[in-house]
Amino acid sequence: MLKLTRPLTGCLTVCALLSGASAWAEAVKSPGGAGPSAALSAYYAKMQQTFQERGLLKTIRTVPSSSMEATSLKRDFLEIAMHSEYGTGLSVSGSRAAKPLLRWEEPVRLQVMFGASVPKDRRIQDLKAISNYTNTLARLTRHPMTVNPNKPNFYVLVVNEAERKSLAKTLPKLVPGVSKSIVRNIARMQPNHLCMVVAEPHADRSRGFKQAVAIVRAEHPDVMRASCIQEELAQGLGLSNDCREAWPSIFNDDQEFAYLTRRDEVLLRMLYDPALKSGMSTKEVAPRLPEITKRAM
């Protein structure tokens, strides 16, 4: 079992369409003196259009031709739940750092915060989407989850680029007790990180996660925005890695699917099966998966 010394970081990334400083420099160039956030909004809108023209960001949840056999579900679960994307300040996607199983062992209480740049009508839409999705996750996992500002432990921040950069200084005030590692990962978030979640476990791994912070970019158009909410909140529950073989799934960096799929729902049920608990190693988890998979399906 690998001893974890840093929070687990997951993020939806794009490398083919937005890579490095040169692409970012082009993105912020805009006529009429528009600022970086306006240019970034236009850039992400173009990105969404390009994805959809390529047949990506599908909003369907089931694919008739897909299989749901136990062997592939076990493979996907071990890759997604027992490995982690670590934040490095560059792309945190695709790394394979082994880890113990981690999930929430205590009730999840989400608080949604908005940057001043987010208009009121957009806040209402986002809050409704996050609340509805939180209810869906609670139903799937049978784990208590609520949008509750009373002693929150999972923060969802909807902010534009300037507001995200300011979090390096303001996040410790917004999120009491937030670790320096979480602040550092968010401060290093690059433009090709479409969104991010950083979940910090207790020192005693058997207690699971103690805190998480998710970042949703306010510049995103509707489908990318919804996709970020769905993937990051699910990753923040413990499905922290991506798997190239997982299909159809949002836990795959190809951006083919925008929303949680039927396969993803099964993986979440597996993660929160009573036979598992935080701190278990792969050797402890793997023998339990055949029966867990049957129950989840």
- Residue 101 is predicted with a pLDDT of 97
Helix axes 36-53, 20-27, angle to 10 degrees: 110
Contact in structure between 228 and 216 (CB atoms under 8 Å):
yes
Ordered by where they begin, the domains of the chain are 57-296 (3.40.390.10)
pTM, two decimals, is: 0.85
- How far, in Å, CA of 144 to CA of 107, rounded? 5
Contact in structure between 272 and 97 (CB atoms under 8 Å):
no
- Residue 35 is predicted with a pLDDT of 53
- Residue 50 is predicted with a pLDDT of 96
- How far, in Å, CA of 8 to CA of 95, rounded? 12
Q: Sort 3 into a burial class: Cβ within 10 Å, 0-12 / 13-18 / 19+.
A: exposed
- How far, in Å, CA of 163 to CA of 121, rounded? 19
Helix (H) / strand (E) element for 173: namely helix 161-174
Structure tokens at 145: 């989850």
- Residue 264 is predicted with a pLDDT of 95
Backbone angles phi, psi at 288, to 5 degrees: -85, -15
With a cut of 70, list the residues of the chain below it in pLDDT: 1-36, 85-96
- Residue 185 is predicted with a pLDDT of 87
